[in-house]
Chain A
Amino acid sequence: MAREAELHLRDRLSRLKSIGLLRGASISGELARLQRQLEKTSEPTDQEIWQHVELARHPDRPYTLDYVERIFDDFVELHGDRARAEDPAMITGLGRLHGRTVALLGQQKGRDTHDRIRRNYGMTYPEGYRKAMRVMEMAERHRFPIVSLVDTPGAYPGVAAEQHGQGGAIARSQALMSRLTVPIVACVIGEGGSGGAIAIALADRVLMQENAMYSVISPEGCAAILWRTGEERVKAAAALKPDAAHTLALGVIDAIVPEPEGGAHTNWDEAARLLGEALQSSMEDLSAIPGDELRRRRRARFRSLGVYASSTVSTELSTENATIPK
């Protein structure tokens, strides 16, 4: 069992490292050997995980509006948060999915330089989340199911965004989604970048395209903090495991939406057909569930996420370390 071998190696590795920490002795040869062995047994490789990151950010990958025009009929885009501004990084609107009116939310990155700048590379301002919230409220009132397409490097980290309440907007958008009684299906179609992504992804069904990524922090940001250099982004990506397969295994998403051979960027029409089918089938599953029950299950779904242990006994490692002289 490759898995067991890996666990065993990791265990030995962390023990060896802690011994090094204790006595300052040089055991680097043994460490390096174990690390190499570990890399052989691990699957997928660091490079393979990094490929998902690159595909998720591929400049030819279809964006929200590319899917909207292929999946929805009679789409009408809605603009502005009714308070302060219009945020082109967030698309909202109404359209028909298999004949039924649905509300759409989704980030939009922009295709050429001009468009990218206008759309702020898909990095939403608080105004964008407030626009999404106003459309969610309308959807609730008219019993329109909601489709949310997530594709953002993250919420915009700027002075004005902070002054306009970025943190609070992300929190309140999630809170609103947890209160809705209409079906919500979210799909990460490219980058699912941290708080900026979860702000519109508190859904009944959370899907992820095969080559999308979903992460608490960008590999670059993680590398800058933990390795103290952005250069280690490949290692950081491998540690964060932001790919669809790992995210599914952790129970964070419900299903992986297949992409055409080679990735969504190779065939937009086929990618849209596959995504449209997945959205439709999720909607069908949810449509029979009464609103209150839907909301109860949605909250329970997120309530259950997390891995922890109940323990009153200290581990072997901790007793070893307890003897470190100051």
Chain B
Amino acid sequence: MAERIDISIEHRNVPEPLNDKPHPNTCPRCGSHYRDDELAENLHVCPHCNHHFAVRARQRIAQLADEGTFEEEAAELRSQDPLEFFDVRAYTERLVEAEQKTGQGDAMVIGGAAIERVPCEVAVMDFAFMGGSMGSVVGEKFCRACESAAERGVTLVSVTASGGARMQEGILSLMQLPKTVCAVEDLKDAGGAMISVMAHPTTAGVLASFASLGDVIVAEPGALLAFTGPRVVQQTTREKLPEDFGLAESNVRFGHVDAIVGRRDLRPYLGRVLRLFSKNGAHGA
């Protein structure tokens, strides 16, 4: 673990942890604490230890897209409660609370944009909305992003951060796996490409569907990319887990992703790949 540092950073004002959870602006790896503007300036990457903090969907789009180019699509879609799902609380109640907490209609934001002046379509997940879980709305939005990319003849950039399928929509959530897979295949048949950026965490149903189907797949450093998370693997199999179990770094070693790209390099990296995939192959930069 890197040592805590004491420059420009408000160590003395680190808030007391709430319910054992560190303050969202405190780095969970090295303990350095930042003001909101310091974090934003550093793209939510710890300048001391390179820990990548979670990024909300709209922050991510602001980091990647050229200013003023993002045009949101399908923002009006909202989840229903087809199963009338009721555990200790009603699903409808959880949805309302998630929308109020995040200001998002659901766990994905899609739309047209340009990255380094190359037009593209983006589909970005928001982990803050019910753990980025994929229900009918996420599935539908992702499919519309594929269709929009195909129509406009541009590449789709997908950024995932998700715990998997949303339990509260039961079997319909599972059906979002084949649904999104079919949408990617339609996009590819239309000559389109997809770049998949896996942020922390990309697991279960999202990893086992569209996220794994990118023509190019990159991961953020330290991101957990696993079909089953370490806790469940440990509990189910009693196996001793390697230290880097399921992390981006081990996924590169085993050949499941093309590269690990740090957040500060992501925009230029995507720009380069988008230019390579653009129709004339020689898009002016």
Is B one of A's binding partners?
yes
Can you list 29 A-B contacts (CB < 8 A)?
A10-B84, A162-B233, A163-B250, A163-B254, A167-B207, A167-B208, A167-B227, A171-B207, A171-B209, A175-B185, A175-B213, A195-B205, A195-B227, A214-B174, A215-B171, A215-B174, A216-B165, A216-B171, A221-B232, A226-B167, A246-B171, A302-B179, A306-B140, A307-B80, A307-B169, A308-B79, A315-B96, A317-B92, A317-B93
Q: From residue B199, how far is it (CB to closest CB) to chain A in Å?
A: 15
**A113 is an interface residue with CB less than 8 A from chain B:** no
Q: Which residue of B lies closest to A165 (CB)?
A: B256
Q: Interface of B with A (CB < 8 Å)?
A: 76-80, 82-90, 92-93, 96-97, 99-100, 135-137, 139-140, 143, 165-167, 169-179, 181-186, 203-205, 207-213, 225-228, 232-233, 236-237, 239, 241-242, 245-246, 250, 254-256
Do A215 and B170 contact each other (CB < 8 Å), given the known contacts A227-B87, A303-B143?
Answer: yes
In the bound assembly, the distance between CA atoms of A318 and B227 in angstroms comes to: 34
Cβ-based interface call for A61 (8 A): no
The SS class assigned to the A binding surface is helix
B168 to chain A, nearest CB (A): 8
**Residues of A with C-beta under 8 A to B99:** 318
B175 near A162: Cβ-Cβ < 8 Å: no
A311 touches B76 (CB 8 A): yes
Docked complex Cα distance between A307 and B93 (Å): 17
A310 touches B77 (CB 8 A): yes
Q: Is B212 within 8 A of A171, CB to CB?
A: yes
Q: How far is the CB of A312 from chain B (nearest CB, A)?
A: 5
Q: B-contacting residues of A (Cβ < 8 Å)?
A: 6-7, 10, 13-14, 17-18, 21, 155, 157-159, 161-168, 170-172, 174-175, 178-179, 194-195, 197-199, 201-202, 214-217, 221-222, 225-227, 235-236, 239-242, 246-247, 250, 252, 298-299, 302-303, 305-312, 315, 317-318, 321-322
Measured in the bound complex, the distance between the Cα atoms of B208 and A310 in whole Å is 27
Q: Is the CB of B172 within 8 A of A322?
A: no
If A311-B76, A315-B96, A317-B92 touch, does A252 touch B175 (CB 8 Å cutoff)?
A: yes
- Residues of A contacting B241 with CB < 8 Å? 159
Known: A226-B88, A321-B97. 15 other contacts (CB 8 A): A155-B227, A157-B236, A158-B239, A159-B233, A162-B245, A166-B228, A167-B212, A174-B178, A175-B185, A239-B86, A240-B170, A241-B83, A246-B171, A299-B186, A310-B78
